[in-house]
Structure 1
Amino acid sequence: MTGFDWEGLVTFLGRRYDDVLELAGEHLLVVLISLAIALIIGVGIGMLVWNKPVARSVSISATAVMLTIPSLALLALLSPLLGLGWGPSVVALVFYSLLPIVRNTVVGLREVPLPILESARGVGMGPLRVLFTMQLPIAWPVILTGIRVAAQLTVGIAAIAAYVAGPGLGQYIFKGLSSLGSKNALNYALTGTVGVLLLALLLDAAFLLIARLTISKGLK
């Protein structure tokens, strides 16, 4: 790559401002869609297995193994089945989001104090009512932490999804790497990388706000 030129970067951004914003919006959207799907699947799995030792161990171990699969390899395997673009990107991001959500859901539900559960059952609450009205609200801070971790993972991995023509700022990173030595190679790579970092920080700040608004003061 050529040396860094601040004025050149400013000019580069000025000419591609709309494009950068569009890619940033796509990056954020694919992350949010993937997180929403992973949240439904992950919390659902956690609710089903939290009190079943064998199923719990298998679920957490399976999602942990899934996380060890290299992202480029997974995207390469998914692209023949789902084509290029959003399809393999969303599936891969959901895939990598499951471990922190499943694990934290299980941990959160198991950490609800036994006296609270016994009191709820003592007043006639059934298992489902106890789960939804007592356990999940108390476990929510732990579950939200898992979602927050998953969000940070997906923001970074979403950049790699550009390998299969996925949406987002990864397109600029790959364009910069594929054009090493050209005038704007560093500008492309730097814009994409810094953009991903800024999105990660903004998303993390959003989760801090969500935690502040949704977690009961008695649980803080």
Structure 2
Amino acid sequence: MASTRASLTNVLYRSQIEIARVLRLLEREGSMVSAHVANGERLYITRVVHVDLDAGYFLIAFSDEKQANDALLGDETVVFRGNVRQTRVEFSASHPCDTVHDDKPAIRFAFPSVLAQIQRRRFPRYRVPADVSLRCVADSGGVMPFEARISDISLGGLGAIVYDAGIRLPPGTVLIDCRIVVPEHEPVLVDIEVCYTKPVQLDDGALANRSGVRFVRPEKQVEALVKIFVVDLENEN
């Protein structure tokens, strides 16, 4: 699916894996990102210095101006804009808090839920559902089917599923004929290979397991799912 990624020039990412890829690109290339703080009266310029997808956060460098840092930390949500590899990037991040990274002051943000990467001068409008996860009956072709949520799918066919904490899925497990319910479409059947599993806590405080997975077949079906998490803005507008 690498060719699919290469063909996208104006895209809205809801896939956490793809968002992490873009943030790491900003970090690796040292690209500046900016945000208006203090009710738009002050421009905050910084760089992404660390990205942790598994822990669900990223870090930016402190500004040299204390007042700018105080203003940023006082905002619940901040919209960042930047440029990388001849594209513009825009994303919002919430819950800032001060921290330390490599013995230097930094600001930590919760991972963005949406990121736009475009080659236009102005960002198009787009609508994003609050919850883009998909219901899935996992291993429907196996011995003990169970219900899960598809929480992420990337352009490369990698993704994540969240399910009951009492279910154990070791790496290498292949779930056969997982039936994924897609709103306003026919259900999709795919096979899913488990890459890793870790415990997580849901927003309501309940415990669950989250597995990083690879969608192994069929490719056409997986591409249909990817379009839910990665929106080609050229075709949406």
Determine if the TM-score, normalized by the shorter chain, exceeds 0.5.
no
Larger radius of gyration: 1
TM-score by length of 1: 0.24
TM-score by length of 2: 0.23
Higher share in strand = 2
